Structures are given as structure tokens and as C-alpha cells.
Amino acid sequence: MMSGDPIQFSASSNGDRWLLERGTTPGEDTVIHRANPPSGGMETRLDVKSFLEITGDRPEAAALRDLLGKNAGDEEAQPAPIEPTVEAGSPSTSPWAKTPGKTGP
């Protein structure tokens, strides 16, 4: 069972969004990646540990670490609205990004 609405912690200039869905007990938090509509709008869910392992030092991982650090001990805290963390035209290194010229999975 999840607690409250997911909290958006990162967004890219291409419309991808990353949200944190808080679990009711420690260790149940889930990261939701919502791809932009032009790329299919797929939703991917990962536990926080797996997400941080996959994303390493990418902006969305840094934003999640920042959110988790700020909210440690303050479960009701809501982050301020954020601006995209990737500059327009920057190549994506996301594991969810499509390879240029590739049309299938």
C-alpha cells in the first residue's frame, strides 16, 4: 500500500518525468519514470536502490538524493516545483532513452 500522491522530483526538457511514490514502511519507496508522449508515454517503476544504481550520477539521481536527504524525518515535506534538469538539445544518457534511428525496443 502506498502513502499519498507521488512527488515529482525531476523532469527533462523532452518531457520525461521522475516521481517518488512513498511506501508505508521504510524500503517500500518506488521511483516512477514517465516517458514523454512522443516516445510512447511508458511508465517504468523501480525501487529506490535499483534506480540509484542504474542512474548513477545523472541529474535525476542527484535530484532524488536531494529530495530524500531533505525529507529525512519529515514525511509530509513537499519539494518546490522544479525546472527541467537537462538542457534542451543535450543527448540523453537515460537507460529509457531510445537509440537514434532505432524504431523498436
Within a domain: 67: no
Within a domain: 105: no
pLDDT digits (tens, 9 = 90+) for 68-100: 998 665 544 444 444 444 444 445 555 555 555
According to the model, what pLDDT value does residue 27 have?
81
Within a domain: 54: yes
Grid cell 544518457 in the structure block, residue: 93
Within a domain: 47: yes
Domain range for 27 is 7-61
Domain count, the chain: 1
Question: What pTM does this model have?
Answer: 0.65
Within a domain: 76: no
Within a domain: 25: yes
Within a domain: 70: no
Within a domain: 74: no
pLDDT digits (tens, 9 = 90+) for 13-67: 999 999 999 998 878 999 999 999 999 999 999 999 999 999 999 999 999 999 9
